[in-house]
Structure 1
Amino acid sequence: MWVIKSVSRESDTYTIRNMVGGTYMSLTGSATNGTAIVGSQQAGDNQKWIIKKGTRSDMTYSRIQNKGNRSFIDLAGGAGANGTKVLGWQSTWDDSNTNQRWNFSSQSLTSAEVRTALDANPYLRSDFKSFVSDGMYLILSQARYQEIWRNSGLQSRRWREEVFDCDDFSFVYKGEVGKWGDSQFKATGFGILCGIMFGSSKQGAHAYNWMVKSGNHANIEFFEPQDNTFKDDPGYSAYFGVY
């Protein structure tokens, strides 16, 4: 996965940073066809990329051109094997070469997009209030969230009134998600979505976690940190949340 960030005051221009390694996609100063694209620390125009939609009838793909030497990102030979090199290649924006066509799949949401998903959920009260701490959020799969829980030590904890009850489970789990991200990724500029909600029902009050579904990014789901389960209906109407 990559963090794609726009460059201030430069139209259609971005940096492309590897999330795990933290280095930026870079092309050396050479414009020679076949020049290797590598990861390096941010330095200048060789780490800046112009990203635009195709100019032919097929507008579903994008092309990526290096700002420094104007070469395009090319998948060597169009091969589909793991380890195929990605190279710089001279071309034009209307070239039909499929080796230089790229599609992007967003794995993140802005805080405003997360709020839109929240507002559409029926299990929030009309007076629901929330506190936002980050501007961009990575959305994980259910399987990943559950793996983090299994490695958190929470399964050995038991509910104890006031001492370690539902809100403590929720805050500790949110912290564990953050710790996992800190260990996994060297890139910065994003948070990992794991919210906390406080809700009420006729039976009483409860605290639990929530996330946006990784499939469509349009709906939220609820997570019980006491037993590692997901629910579409938490059984409570939320009046306050953080994320």
Structure 2
Amino acid sequence: MWQWRIVGNGGYTKIQNVASGTFLDLFTGTSMPGIQVQGWARSASESQDWFLRRVSRSDVEIREILARDTHNAANFQGFRQDLLYLVLPKSVRDAIYVKSGLKNMKDRGQLFDSDDYAFFLKVEVAKWGVNTLLADDFGILWGVMFGQKGNHGLAYNFYLNENLDNIMFFDPYTGDEKVDMEYKAYLAVY
């Protein structure tokens, strides 16, 4: 098993292999798409500078974010399955939605309504993860929420914003991201 040490370097980091003492470096020092990386002695080269951005949250952190969300009803309940969740970038979310075909699907009343749209899209996200990600033991945060507005109920998807500190809603009927679905959520599955 490889072990890595993350070494601060201004606004960037250097990534050091603990066993060999070498640093992750771009092969030949060039930054072309698809270029290989190699272990190399530490240098001041920009080809050893990496920008790391967090793209996941733990179950505990997500529950804390959900607990302070103002769109939840007093009786809100959340059910989760995993301990760590990856939050997909917008470009990936958009591509999955387009590929799903939901935008062109006609509402079929109770036969295929909001909860079917939301769960269908959750399955499409999971299929993308299985086919694309080469690691295990984490989930993808693409939840399903059930909300109420007056006598009308609606199911929709949710995930975290780019800063990973607030809930974003996704309308599977339209493909629109929203900061407010105008419903009070009473149940979330993620």
TM-score, normalised via structure 1 length? 0.68
**In the alignment, which of 26, 37, 40 is matched to residue 89 of structure 1?**
40
What does 1:14-163 correspond to in 2, within 5 Å?
A: 44=1, 48-54=2-8, 60-76=11-27, 78-82=29-33, 84-91=35-42, 99-163=47-111
**In the alignment, which of 168, 187, 190 is matched to residue 135 of structure 2?**
187
Say which SS state the counterpart of residue 183 (structure 1) adopts: helix
Change (3 A) 1:153 1:96: closer
Counterpart Cα distance in 1 of 2:125 and 2:34 = 30
Q: Is the 8 A contact 2:156 2:171 kept in 1?
A: yes
Change (3 A) 1:90 1:141: closer
Say which SS state the counterpart of residue 117 (structure 1) adopts: helix
Counterpart Cα distance in 1 of 2:143 and 2:79 = 10
**In the alignment, which of 164, 183, 186 is matched to residue 217 of structure 1?**
164
Q: Is the 8 A contact 2:7 2:16 kept in 1?
A: no
Percent identity between the aligned chains? 35
Counterpart Cα distance in 1 of 2:90 and 2:34 = 28
Offset at residue 85 of structure 1 (A): 4.5
Please tell me the residue identity of whatever aligns with 1:142: K
Offset at residue 163 of structure 1 (A): 2.0
Aligned residue pair count: 190
Change (3 A) 1:149 1:100: closer
Change (3 A) 1:128 1:68: same
Counterpart Cα distance in 2 of 1:232 and 1:211 = 11
Q: Which runs of 5+ in 1 are unaligned?
A: 1-43
Please tell me the residue identity of whatever aligns with 1:192: I
TM-score, normalised via structure 2 length? 0.85
- 2:153 maps to what in 1? 205
Please tell me the residue identity of whatever aligns with 2:75: D
Counterpart Cα distance in 1 of 2:84 and 2:90 = 19
Q: Is the 8 A contact 1:131 1:242 kept in 2?
A: yes
Q: Is the 8 A contact 2:31 2:47 kept in 1?
A: no
**In the alignment, which of 146, 163, 169 is matched to residue 117 of structure 2?**
169
Change (3 A) 1:152 1:74: closer
Which one scores higher on RCO, CA 8 angstroms, separation ≥ 6?
A: 2
CA RMSD of aligned residues (A): 2.4
Change (3 A) 1:200 1:83: closer
Counterpart Cα distance in 2 of 1:67 and 1:79 = 24
Change (3 A) 1:157 1:117: same
Change (3 A) 1:64 1:124: same
- Structure number with the higher helix fraction is 2
Counterpart Cα distance in 2 of 1:138 and 1:97 = 31
Q: Is the 8 A contact 1:73 1:87 kept in 2?
A: yes
